[in-house]
A and B are shown apart, each in its own frame.
Chain A
């Protein structure tokens, strides 16, 4: 890492010529289907993730119908219900959010934002997508095998996950585990690309601290994923063997339905450790890209630099590191040694400090800004509200003794939906509204965006806020129905019915969003290269949408950080990262340029 060392390396040609040999597509098939262009792969990832996410959305409707109106729908049996919750959870966390943030946004934004022509290993990147697609198809196949998909809960805890008495123990669980293994292999291929591209392929002048926070968030999340997914892989492999070969990695001696099984000596808690060693970093695998992206949305649309950039970077790194030593806070009542509770409660609450700092800095970025209430900004505000709400309920669950009554209640459901469901999804929406013009050259319709935003934000908040209180009451999660109890008042059922109605409305509002995506592709206002007047490199490309190789003949040279908003001595209130310092007072506003002139940015 000594500067001089760069010159001793003879593999990398100087920046003035082509940085890397791009694979040039020769046919329609290699251009749009088996493409090695990160931007195409990004769109493939995004569409697949959103499509499978819609399946999970429908599953959540089914669950809500059952909870809101029990004994009404004959097509939702207990067995179906448990399959719905399992598939809903797994799809949303892994196949939608992880794939969309890293495979989708990561692929699209990393090369563009760091000023690279493409990912460093385009072929491996393409393989990554196709293996991901295979994982999705295997997962979907489990709906069509005898016994259906697994109903073990997304945590897949043994012994029940592989024993009859749990739906899908015949074949569904195996397909789930195989699909996860595929996902992990595919992700690792993509992840190698993201990490090496960020470390090695940045353009000249793009020092680490000049990178936009989006890149920091995605980069750190990828590092976490590369280190955390192996734990899930290990657990999945061992559970597959337990199920198929009858080994006893996780299976103790069991009498099941009156019969002695041949298992013996295994430890179900060991699986839980492996699962959560993956599972907790997974929360940050979803959250860190959201943190990064929302920082950029807030900064651009508040026309102000991000407040405390260095602290924001450090917080991302610290949160990433700490996320590996908090996993057992999911296991306070799992039967593990209770003395672990002291350690994990302390680490868990400490992680609240860097997280809180990020929240303060987002709000302080708004402070003394010049806030444009665009759709992306609205979603960023909604993120702050829902994330703070979901974050503070995490302090309840992280504090070991408070977790004892609340664990496995609806409080937990409300908490993690707020913090890693609603909040990141708000960022996903904001990001799509924000980058859509770059991807298509057109703006998304604002009126539809407003309706979509308000229904989604207020609706999602109204769904999950009251569920916390059912949790206090002691209503358990993962209950097909709540038969008569002495402690749950009738009003709780009314509340459930209310939540179900809202959930149906919010879900339906997403159709408007999808419609807007299609409609604006044809009818949207022409955006020009830089409609938000943003500083980062993806907005300074020669063509919109960016062509093969991202930039023109020469890669951009970076002269400043990504947050040069409101500089006192510049013509405009923003200065692009690649604007030479002597042109601060020139007429550089490329948002006025027509998108049809390819040489515009140069």
Chain B
């Protein structure tokens, strides 16, 4: 008879409670490790010493006022998209269709901008805003409707909706291309700047940043202090509890997903009217997916999400700088983003659990 049981050196113990300091320390340690790995990788590829790597990255973000504005704009867009996704995630509705919801917002705003340049600017902007929000809300509503009615898997449904949005955009990009055969729409209303958000204090990106800042504050209070925000939290914690206390779960799902979609549509409007002034299929650039990770890592807390978005915007911009200096491919920033996220989601384990050394010879 075989009577040999293997005793592992460590076993996993669930932590009771964790102090805030310990929590921060674990995350900080993970972040430092991630930055070290990023530095080592960059050094291997470029031959630059790790400290210089970060000096280069710092310059890429703060070297000139223009670079800082670009970084702040990147930060605002990423934060805005992550915030838009937060209500649905807090409800444990796995919406990975942020990309499509933002893009269809871009598409709607761009379509209004392209087709009605004769309208007065204020009316045009308002119409673009409404169109973008409505389109985004519809893109969020569809999967939520089927989820609440027939429990259709929302992860896969929202994923597919991304590509429907992308193909619709691709269709109109070719319909409206200028010049014919270029496959690009080009800057819309370049001469009269109709449908462009006005610059504030000479800064093109400032309106976007201000709107996202307002959105952050509004969402913080909505999630934390409103009745609807509370309902979202209850449904997220336990659907059965929510039903028991009389919350109409179906309605909450549909309402919250429409809100998420609408906010994504708003971000699409900001992308088109605030900075890009055109529509392309790659306008959102994967930020619908990155936003999912930011929202998750921020534990749906808007304040932590600001930090995470800053980190990713900083590293993304910095990696671009490193890549252009060494004539490397610009996807370098995606590699660094991936590494940082691996470490940050990996460290969550050590927040909830700890490893303990198993004492030998202990009888159970």
**Are A and B interaction partners?**
no
Could you list which residues of chain B lie within 8 angstroms of chain A, going by C-beta atoms?
A: none
Could you list which residues of chain A lie within 8 angstroms of chain B, going by C-beta atoms?
A: none
